Structure 1
Amino acid sequence: MHKILITGGNFINKGAQSMLFCLVDSLKTKYPESEIVMIDLFPTLKVEDKDKYNFRIVNMHIRTVLRMAFPVIKLIVKPKPISNPEKEIKSHFATADLILDISGYGVSSHNQSPLWTYATLFPVKLARKKNIPFVFLPQSIGPFDFKGWKKLVIWPLVKKYLSYPKAIFIREPECRVYTDKIRKEGVIDSFDLVLQSPKINLNHIYCEDQQDLKANEVNHKSVIVVPNKQLTKLKTKQEVVVLFSGLINELLQNGEQVAIVRHSNDDKTLCDEIYREVDHSDVQLVNRDLSPYEIQQIFDDSKAVVTARYHGLIHALKLSKPCLVIGWANKYKHVMKSFHMDEYQFDIRNIDESKMKASLMQLVQNEEEISTLITNKLKEIKATDIFNYIR
């Protein structure tokens, strides 16, 4: 039996969950005898929560990363109770045959603490020490514009550990500008893992059958709206609330039904505030912790999706749903351009609201034509299989 470790996934963000489930499903389909172990760097699951999944979940809290990386820290930093024992974690890394990372956006100088970049690189360090093959599955890499002490400390680690993996799959061509500073070989263009994957066999994910969504939770042919708290780092929260409520009111005035759907735990408060701002009987709010399967059900019955979450976009496209995107990063632009939907992608930093509202109504009115275009592109994407490389 082979042991395959998965790093970079978590249960906080639905995009991360979706990538995890797609990967587990594909691995169990192709390598049914292998042991699949997910190492969770952002642990939220207790023992009883882990038991419902049909693969092993090992919690490795950031404190554990620091304690394992710098033993002297053990004198002042106690392990987090939710984390698995360090001896057990070391054993999994020591006995792994392959490690696959699905961080999504882990190695970067942009908009994140260097601690998280180091946490993403730490499994590579352990793999390198034991000479275990390591692959970064499709994600955004870079930029590496480190300044001050970060340039002296973090940048050398990035260069060292990004040189080790057998392959780095990048989701956007712009990432190659950054990886070229480190390596030219083994950097492969690829679409998001969720977009490439077939329909998931839930028996590969859960130990028991999953119940369907409650009947009529979201009205048939609603336009789904997916906010993102991260937008409030670029605009004030009130500006973001007004922006979304304006789009929703535009839809309502044109006779559309709308559902505000939470895609990440971080977005709970923002969803509530947008719902209160609109205050209309034709707007539904789904603000509970949905599984990726439940999100898929909601999207599958929708007319179109307005999303500020990257994997909200990916989930919608996977189901051939027309999308209007409010984002800022290259990952949004690249996907929308690849699907010939540039005119429906808007940068939060310089939005023309009247143009965006007009584009939204055009999107809804041309729903069937756009859906066909998306379906044709999906066939092209799924013609290649990322797991051919891994095998």
Structure 2
Amino acid sequence: MQKIIITGGNFINKGAQSMLFCLVDSLKKNFPGANIVMIDLFPTLTDEDKEKYDFQVVNMHIRTVLRMAFPFIKLVVKPKPISNDESEIKKHFKTADLILDISGYGVSSHNQSPLWTYATLFPVMLAKRSLVPFVFLPQSIGPFDFKGWKKLVIWPLVKKYLKYAKVIFIREPECRKYVEKVRKDEIVDSFDLVLQSPKIELKNIYKDLPKQKDKELRIKKDSVVVIPNKQLTKLKSSEEVIAIFKDLILDLLSRGEEVAIVRHSSDDKQLCDSIYREVSHQKLQLVNEDLSPYDIQQVLESSKVVVAARYHGLIHALKLEKPCLVIGWANKYSHVMKSFGLSNYQFDISQANIDGIIDTQHRLIENKDQITKQIAQKLQEVNTVDIYKYFA
């Protein structure tokens, strides 16, 4: 294996970044000597930033996708300066031996722009053009309830390019019924990439090991860590979401618990600030800076339990054997919580009432020792999976 391309990851969302780092680490262990190239569809890194990493980062902005897919657009759409040259990007795809996608949630008709589905499929188009094997690593796929022009334009592309993939790993069993509308073979159930990966060796990620953040990341030992999610405001108003977290945090503080709000994604900065201001309590801690996956792990290691509204906040916490209460909405939360026997500690934001959340949080803290053992037992089972045998 000479060159392996990774698509679907980015450095904005910490879940996506965690999947990227886990994959790079595992690829270096399974395919030593391979040239690993990450194609970033949400480019934020400068050339200087890229030099920190021991794998190649190539920026491919969504404008670049459109310019490469529809050459006539070049007449009216200029490339983003941060994006790498289009000829360089094409060369990477043509010379790859394998392309791996870690989009997490890219091919779907639900709650997202069709442009993102198209952008997720575009690397498959390039792979097919050069007959390079393509694999969708564990992620949510579907549903495919396209309507109107999307059914005429996007759905045929979904069928064509999902068929081309060598293997499709699905994180939730529900996804199987969607993917089987397109293909019947090589659909593999799998837990999240981060959850089933061993501890990352940082020397496989960075050219020079980064300095560990210390003072600013210290939260009080045995704190309840709260990880908000801006996406909740698509299902309830911002005021309602803030009120839920405010009431939950105030109850915890009134019971003598140490509480820390921790940001898990760049998108959540404003929400974290708003909740912190609304609570306005001198004992409430706030970690609202851009953290690496390693930094997040460092913070969560000091926690007693975690209230997770971000999917990979949940995954990070479970990986550290931390009892979790989930405030979410999507099937991906339900599947993980059910798999770990924690369904009674999950709430759908669209139906949740604060009294039920608070009562459940009390039970989580009371039963944390038993739940920790339960999580540890399940992790032993999860960690026996080897997805790399499918494309070695």
- TM-score range for the pair, normalised by the shorter chain length: over 0.9
> What secondary structure sits across from 1:87 in the alignment?
helix
Letter in 1 for 2:385: T
Report deviation, 1:355: 1.5
> What secondary structure sits across from 1:288 in the alignment?
coil
| Alignment partners' CA distance in 1, 2:192 and 2:118 | 23
| Alignment partners' CA distance in 1, 2:293 and 2:222 | 19
Letter in 1 for 2:147: K
| Alignment partners' CA distance in 1, 2:384 and 2:80 | 44
| Equivalent in the alignment of 1:27 | 27
> What secondary structure sits across from 1:196 in the alignment?
coil
| Equivalent in the alignment of 1:130 | 130
| Equivalent in the alignment of 1:240 | 241
Report deviation, 1:209: 1.5
| Alignment partners' CA distance in 2, 1:165 and 1:42 | 23
| Equivalent in the alignment of 2:77 | 77
Matched, 1:364 2:371: no
Report deviation, 1:352: 2.6
| Equivalent in the alignment of 2:269 | 268
| Equivalent in the alignment of 1:218 | 219
| Equivalent in the alignment of 1:207 | 207
- Superposition pairs for residues 42-53 of structure 1, below 5 Å? 42-53=42-53
| Alignment partners' CA distance in 2, 1:390 and 1:290 | 32
| Alignment partners' CA distance in 2, 1:165 and 1:238 | 43
| Alignment partners' CA distance in 2, 1:171 and 1:66 | 29
Deviation readout 1:294-329 (Å, 9 max, x if unpaired): 000111111010011000000000000000000100
- Superposition pairs for residues 158-307 of structure 1, below 5 Å? 158-215=158-215, 217-307=218-308
Residues 259, 285 of structure 1: 8 Å contact kept: yes
Residues 38, 55 of structure 1: 8 Å contact kept: yes
- Superposition pairs for residues 86-165 of structure 1, below 5 Å? 86-165=86-165
| Alignment partners' CA distance in 2, 1:254 and 1:180 | 50
User: For this pair of structures, how many residues does the alignment match?
Assistant: 391
Unaligned runs of 5+ in 2: none
Residues 40, 60 of structure 1: 8 Å contact kept: yes
| Equivalent in the alignment of 2:377 | 376
| Equivalent in the alignment of 1:354 | 355
Letter in 2 for 1:19: M
Report deviation, 1:130: 0.7
> What secondary structure sits across from 1:320 in the alignment?
coil
Report deviation, 1:384: 1.5
Residues 213, 297 of structure 1: 8 Å contact kept: no
Letter in 2 for 1:222: S
Report deviation, 1:356: 1.3
Report deviation, 1:381: 0.6
| Equivalent in the alignment of 1:331 | 332
> What secondary structure sits across from 1:218 in the alignment?
coil
Residues 172, 331 of structure 1: 8 Å contact kept: yes
Letter in 1 for 2:167: A
Percent identity over the alignment is: 68
| Alignment partners' CA distance in 2, 1:385 and 1:249 | 43
Letter in 1 for 2:193: L
| Alignment partners' CA distance in 2, 1:364 and 1:262 | 22
Report deviation, 1:333: 0.3
| Alignment partners' CA distance in 1, 2:386 and 2:252 | 38
| Alignment partners' CA distance in 1, 2:151 and 2:362 | 46
Letter in 1 for 2:161: Y
| Alignment partners' CA distance in 1, 2:33 and 2:239 | 52
| Alignment partners' CA distance in 1, 2:391 and 2:251 | 47
| Alignment partners' CA distance in 2, 1:109 and 1:389 | 28
| Equivalent in the alignment of 2:388 | 387
| Alignment partners' CA distance in 1, 2:223 and 2:295 | 15
| Alignment partners' CA distance in 2, 1:205 and 1:263 | 20
> What secondary structure sits across from 2:164 in the alignment?
coil
Letter in 2 for 1:256: E
Report deviation, 1:8: 0.3
CA RMSD of superposed structures (Å): 0.8
Report deviation, 1:210: 2.1
> What secondary structure sits across from 2:33 in the alignment?
coil
Report deviation, 1:148: 0.5
| Alignment partners' CA distance in 1, 2:126 and 2:45 | 24
| Alignment partners' CA distance in 2, 1:209 and 1:24 | 15
| Alignment partners' CA distance in 2, 1:233 and 1:188 | 31
Deviation readout 1:238-279 (Å, 9 max, x if unpaired): 100000011111111111100000000000000000001111
More displaced stretch, 348-357 vs 206-215: 206-215
